[in-house]
Copies of this chain bind each other. A is one copy, B any other.
Amino acid sequence: MTPAFPAHSSDLADFCWPLPARPGDPLDAVDTPALLLDLDAFDRNLARMQGAADAAGVALRPHAKAHKCPAIAQAQIARGARGICCQKTSEALPFLQAGITDIHISNEVVGPVKARRLASMARHGRFSVCVDDLSQVEILAHAAAEEGSRLGVFIEVNIGQDRCGVNDAAAALRLLEAISKHAQLAFAGLQAYHGGLQHLRSRSERRLAVARASVRTTAFVDALAGRGVPCPTVTGAGSGSVEFDLAEGVYTEVQPGSYVFMDGDYGRNEHGQLQFEHSLFVAAAVMSDRRDGQVVVDAGLKSLAVDSGLPSVWGEPSLRYAAANDEHGIVQRVEAGAPRPALGSLLRLVPGHCDPTLNLHDHLVGYRADRVECVWHVAARGMSR
């Protein structure tokens, strides 16, 4: 034991931020737990989504709240995406720093700190945000005036989720009037998003629910048109509903995010025509095997979001992830005779919910043919303000 402790010495500094892998490593050498991305499936998912948006003549603005990773946003934009969505003002910072300059905050913003952060970023790019209350308009106008920047403003409309957004055209028109009083604000259009549609299990249910939501969106668009106000953009949709949203002809821009990865919850949806592949896994290692019929892996609640169910074990139908503790997972054999994974062996877990799982990790290990190709920084991880 060393009595004199070399605090902050240079060799201790080397300990910082241990990476889970390096390009060229074999996949089974990844330090666990680690987020893995199957780059072949990822490439196909990006191409399919961009192809579907192009075929429909609708702009694609993928949601970065799913991946929080500038390298992925750059890949989406390189394939034709118009820009990205972020859900929080702080979430946009690492994307702006990575050179992504067209960012929509698909959410309301309250308080002067967030408005100022947004207006400050808008000095360096094209930024927009949602409102559903007159007070938000005034705070945004004040912040943009202080920063000398301009903000696009979307009016969020409630098309059935009953979360944020105005209920009726009269309220939308009042917001429109308030926005138009400020030279530093520009009315950008309507945001019409319904998160509840994304996980309706049957394809026909999703189709019907999208049709109903579209009727409500159209009513808002028509009410504004009746006052001589065109909507520059109608933005919304998610990975579960997007095939129908594209066909409805109401949206001019779609915001899917999860299509990049998919997850256990999306995997339980009946497939549509526009189908995406599981590309995201959490690599976990077997760390103890002292019990009959089960092993303990080193990935639990701090590496996997369980709000939409426990993970499944990819490619191992005889294994079931049965319980998540803070840092442990219990993996059981489904059949008594099935082989049990050896101590130290690596399992690929499919998370129940991709977005909050990404938010637990600082790095995403991209691989192809069982070899690590890249290690991307999940730079907006934790940026929830």
Which A positions have Cβ atoms within 8 angstroms of B?
1-2, 5-8, 12-13, 15-16, 18, 20, 29, 31-34, 65, 87-88, 90, 93, 96-99, 101, 107-111, 113-114, 117, 120-121, 123-126, 132-133, 135, 150, 158, 162-167, 195, 285-291, 296, 298-299, 301-303, 305-307, 324-328, 330, 343-344, 353, 355-356, 359-362, 381-382, 384-385
Contact = CB atoms under 8 A, between A and B. Distances in A.
Given A2-B124, A296-B164, A326 B356 contact: yes
A327 B107 contact: yes
Given A121-B15, A290-B166, A303-B384, A343 B285 contact: no
Contacts of A31: 111, 113-114, 385
B163 A325 contact: yes
Contact of A385 (B18, B87, B108, B126): B18
A180 B183 CA distance: 78
A111 B288 contact: no
A333 to B, nearest CB: 15
Nearest to A127: B1
29 contacts: A1-B126, A7-B97, A7-B98, A12-B97, A18-B93, A18-B385, A20-B385, A29-B113, A31-B114, A32-B385, A108-B287, A109-B287, A110-B287, A110-B343, A133-B343, A163-B296, A163-B330, A165-B290, A166-B290, A167-B290, A298-B384, A301-B305, A301-B353, A302-B382, A302-B384, A306-B307, A326-B356, A361-B382, A381-B382
Contacts of A289: 133
A302 B324 CA distance: 18
A163 B324 contact: no
Contact of A158 (B7, B290, B306): B290
A290 B289 CA distance: 53
Most chain B CB neighbours (cut-off 10 Å) among A13, A101, A286: A101
A266 to B, nearest CB: 14
A20, A167, A291, A385 — most chain B CB neighbours (10 Å): A385
Nearest to A34: B385
Given A18-B117, A107-B327, A361-B382, A132 B5 contact: no
A362 B355 CA distance: 18
A175 to B, nearest CB: 11
Contacts of A328: 163-164
Given A326-B355, A326-B356, A343-B133, A124 B5 contact: yes
Contact of A288 (B7, B97, B133): B133
A93 B382 CA distance: 20
A347 to B, nearest CB: 12
Contacts of A326: 65, 87, 355-356
A301 B291 contact: no
A264 B1 CA distance: 40
Most chain B Cβ neighbours within 10 Å, of A6, A15, A285, A343: A15
Given A12-B124, A165-B290, A302-B359, A135 B307 contact: no
